[in-house]
């Protein structure tokens, strides 16, 4: 780790930090092209960014397949989308903190008769204290990283056989909180002092590292994969935390945040605009191309993480 820390210190550039600050104030590029007859898969579509993104794609003519945790909210979303936009809206119920549910969702997508034109990994969680799942894995790691890894991994052959698809992972500038990189040997935060920001940053860094390998796998296949920061927008993230955090979020954090609609506009641009057809393996702040922090671009760590992720995800047995 010390060797990596020294490496990352040399690679950090103040110009990238200033670019991030500047880009946070920009509005996203807008795509006005219709998306009729396309199928868009979205995780976590019943609230926040996912909800407005679902409405955006439906408004532009796309059919939806949503992977959500809550049955009642999913049915309500289906009825709203289909009655308002005259498109199809199907759903699959899955708790993306459970490996069994993630595998079930991935297998359902693999078995779809139709092509998947766009896959949007949006589901997320933010915790101030460590929570461990029924699989004895740290929850932030599973929801933000392993769920995206497993679904992408299992969909490789289907998407390549289609010869087209765009994968968009809703990442975060928060990956920069993992300033000195991730600890492959302690992804579950059992050996280190837990921090909500650090665990979130580590999971988002892992997401970006996986993109390096998936980009290689999808090279020249017509399938692209990109990660985007959805902007500093007001969402319901953090509702799993206690009253102190929720009070602080409501009275301080939320007052500095922008409308969620800009995230949906940015995702739609990345997914639908012709200028993005061949762009892959990149990180965007809304729709502005950025360089991630050095720990998120380390190919050596990406390859180590890939092997560890297969092990944690029990993919050898699936």
Output the domain CATH number for residue 61: 3.40.50.720
Q: How many domains does the chain have?
A: 1
Centroid of chain to Cα 270:
13
pLDDT at 239: 44
For residues 49 and 28, the answer to whether their CB atoms sit within 8 Å is no
For residues 265 and 30, the answer to whether their CB atoms sit within 8 Å is yes
Instruction: Identify the bridge partners of residue 120 per DSSP, sorted by sequence position.
Output: 42, 168
Distances (CA, A) of 255 to 243, 248, 251, 259: 18, 10, 7, 11
pLDDT tens digits for 189-208?
999 999 988 999 999 999 99
- Window from 14-18, 92-96, 240-244 with minimum mean pLDDT: 240-244
For the chain, the 3-state helix, strand and coil shares in percent, each to the nearest 5, are: 50, 15, 35
C-alpha 121/C-alpha 2 separation (Å) is 33
Report the predicted TM-score, pTM, of the whole model to 2 decimal places.
0.91
In the chain, count of helices (H) and strands (E)? 12, 8
C-alpha 289/C-alpha 226 separation (Å) is 10
For residues 269 and 25, the answer to whether their CB atoms sit within 8 Å is no
pLDDT at 317: 54
Single out the residue of 195, 172, 171 nearest to residue 183, CA to CA.
Answer: 195
pLDDT at 254: 44
CB within 8 Å of 256: residues ≥ 6 apart: 232
Is residue 283 pLDDT above 90, yes or no?
A: yes
DSSP state of 315: G
C-alpha 56/C-alpha 261 separation (Å) is 9
CB within 8 Å of 184: residues ≥ 6 apart: 301, 304, 305, 308
C-alpha 312/C-alpha 137 separation (Å) is 9
Overall average pLDDT of the 233-252 stretch: 44
Distances (CA, A) of 163 to 7, 32, 222, 224: 38, 24, 5, 10
C-alpha 88/C-alpha 66 separation (Å) is 11
* pLDDT band, very low/low/confident/very high, at 288 (cuts 50, 70, 90): very high
Angle made by CA atoms 120, 292, 42, in degrees to the nearest 5: 5
CB within 8 Å of 196: residues ≥ 6 apart: 126, 127, 128, 129, 140
Percent of the chain surpassing pLDDT 90: 77
Is residue 184 pLDDT above 60, yes or no?
A: yes
For residues 142 and 207, the answer to whether their CB atoms sit within 8 Å is no
Domain that holds residue 19: 2-317
Average pLDDT in the chain: 91
* pLDDT band, very low/low/confident/very high, at 259 (cuts 50, 70, 90): confident
Overall average pLDDT of the 55-71 stretch: 98
């Amino acid at each position: 780790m010390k060797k990596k820390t020294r490496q990352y210190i040399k690679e950090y550039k103040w110009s990238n930090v200033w670019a991030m600050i500047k880009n946070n104030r920009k509005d996203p590029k807008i795509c006005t092209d219709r998306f009729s007859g396309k199928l868009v898969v979205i995780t976590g579509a019943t609230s926040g960014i996912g909800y407005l993104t679902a409405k955006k794609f439906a408004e532009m003519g796309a059919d939806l397949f949503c992977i959500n945790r809550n049955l009642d909210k999913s049915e309500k979303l289906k009825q709203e989308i289909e009655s308002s936009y005259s498109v199809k809206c199907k759903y699959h119920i899955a708790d993306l903190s459970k490996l069994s549910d993630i595998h079930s969702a991935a297998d359902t997508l693999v078995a779809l008769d139709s092509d998947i034109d766009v896959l949007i990994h949006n589901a997320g969680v933010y915790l101030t204290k460590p929570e461990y799942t029924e699989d004895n894995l740290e929850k932030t790691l599973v929801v933000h990283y392993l769920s995206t890894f497993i679904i992408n991994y299992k969909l490789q052959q289907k998407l390549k056989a289609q010869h087209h698809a765009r994968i968009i992972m809703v990442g975060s500038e928060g990956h920069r909180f993992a300033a000195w990189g991730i600890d492959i040997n302690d992804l579950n935060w059992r050996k280190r002092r837990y921090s909500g920001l650090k665990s979130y940053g580590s999971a988002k860094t892992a997401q970006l590292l996986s993109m390096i390998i998936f980009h290689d796998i999808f090279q020249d296949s017509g399938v692209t994969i990109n990660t985007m920061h959805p902007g500093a927008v007001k969402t319901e993230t953090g509702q799993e935390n206690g009253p102190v955090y929720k009070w602080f979020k409501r009275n301080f954090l939320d007052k500095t945040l922008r409308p969620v609609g800009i995230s949906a506009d940015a995702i739609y641009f990345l997914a639908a605009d012709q200028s993005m057809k061949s762009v892959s393996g990149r990180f965007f702040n809304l729709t502005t191309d950025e360089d991630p922090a050095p720990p998120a671009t380390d190919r050596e760590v990406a390859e180590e993480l890939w092997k560890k992720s297969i092990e944690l995800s029990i993919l050898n047995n699936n």
